[in-house]
Amino acid sequence: QSVLTQPPSASGTPGQRVTISCSGSSSNIGNNTVNWYQQLPGTAPKLLLYTNNQRPSGVPDRFSGSKSGTSASLAISGLQSEDEADYYCAAWDDSLNGYVFGTGTKVTVL
Amino acid sequence: EVQLVQSGAEVKKPGESLRISCKGSGYSFTSFWIIWVRQMPGKGLEWMARIDPSDSYTDYSPSFQGHVTISADHSISTAYLQWSSLKASDTAMYFCARRIAVAGGAVDWFDPWGQGTLVTVSS
């Protein structure tokens, strides 16, 4: 069972800004860094952001992340059709002594 | 290029055993832990276990402890996930990924991921 809660869906028209929230607790997001993964349809997850807000090489600067307290968020500005995917937050959980993923958010470009 | 290549799709019957693999290339295999993640049909990602290929130290999620076993053979840069007795509920896509850690391991992330191995268990 996921202990990080995300909205099941989000949508926007091309060019709009979309924000996805990730709500956790003091044992995970509150005390550890958050990473975000993008899963395009039918493919493996791919690292999108690490250590709360760092973009790996090759990830467009349209993607940004932030963390405050026990919550984190991913923002996609200038939404593009190729951004249609499932997005997952993830963090280490000190109480569970393991990694936890968010419930996942499906982003649709209208 | 750093990559993880997983073994192909499997179709098994309940009660059968199975081992799937994840071969790393383009980096020092013993310098990075490997993690395994399950994705059941139409569902989200679940962390299963992790292994340090340098000494085969393992960590399991309580949800998977006792039902799967992970191992690694650093001589061929390959990690494994195995079941001794499959159940229909093991039907899922399984991903491996490389764990990158900094700050003494306190900060980490997964990159890259393998392409996934689909396991189907059906009588």
Angle at B7 between CA B6 and CA B13, to 5 degrees: 130
Number of residue pairs across A and B with CB atoms under 8 Å? 61
Chain B positions touching A100 (Cβ under 8 A) are: 47
What does the pLDDT profile of chain A (110 residues) look like in tens digits? 678 999 999 999 999 999 999 999 999 999 999 999 999 999 999 999 999 999 999 999 999 999 999 999 999 999 999 999 999 999 999 999 999 999 999 999 99
* Mean per-residue pLDDT pooled into runs of 10, chain B (123 residues): 98 98 98 98 97 96 97 97 98 98 91 98 97
Whether the CA torsion B21, B22, B28, B31 is positive or negative: it is negative
* CA gap B58, A78 in Å, rounded: 42
CA distance B27 to chain A (A): 17
* CA gap B67, B62 in Å, rounded: 10
The residue behind tokens 């799967």 is B68
Among residues 61-100 of chain B, which lie with CB inside 8 Å of chain A? 61-62, 95, 97, 100
Q: A91, exposed or middle or buried, with CB in 10 Å at 0-12, 13-18, 19+?
A: buried
Q: How far is CA B79 from the centre of its chain?
A: 7
Q: Which of B70, B98, B108 should be substituted to probe chain A, the one whose Cβ sees the most A Cβ atoms within 10 Å?
A: B108
Angle at A100 between CA A67 and CA B76, to 5 degrees: 115
